[in-house]
């Protein structure tokens, strides 16, 4: 992951460690979707749920971190969808 500042100067790796459980659940939830429509629904639900408990700045970093995890799994379409949602 990048060392670029995340939330309030926190590095993205620190952010990812702090939210590792949420990122892991989200990655698996999206990866286990049976098709692209279900993956899109899962992404919308994950983004909505995270946004409801965190600010927009944290959501932006969460989306980047989630996208990077999906990219590492080889799910390029889902990675892009997370960034564009």
All structural domains of the chain with their residue ranges: 11-84
At residue 8 the predicted structure's pLDDT band, cuts being 50, 70 and 90, is low
At residue 41 the predicted structure's pLDDT band, cuts being 50, 70 and 90, is very high
Q: Compute φ and ψ for 5, nearest 5 degrees.
A: -60, 140
Residue keyed to tokens 């965190």 = 54
Residues 6+ apart with CB under 8 A from 71: 79
CA 9, 15, 20: angle at the middle one, nearest 5? 175
Q: Please give the pLDDT value at position 7.
A: 54
State the Cα–Cα distance between residues 79 and 65, nearest whole angstrom: 10
Q: Please give the pLDDT value at position 1.
A: 41
Q: Please give the pLDDT value at position 62.
A: 95
């Amino acid at each position: 992951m990048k060392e670029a500042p995340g939330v309030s100067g926190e590095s993205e790796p620190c952010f990812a460690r702090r939210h590792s459980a949420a990122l892991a659940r989200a990655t698996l939830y999206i990866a286990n979707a049976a098709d692209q429509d279900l993956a899109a629904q899962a992404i919308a639900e994950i983004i909505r749920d995270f946004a409801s408990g965190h600010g927009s700045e944290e959501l932006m970093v969460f989306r980047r971190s989630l996208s990077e995890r999906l990219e590492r799994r080889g799910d390029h379409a889902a990675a892009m969808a997370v960034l564009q949602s």
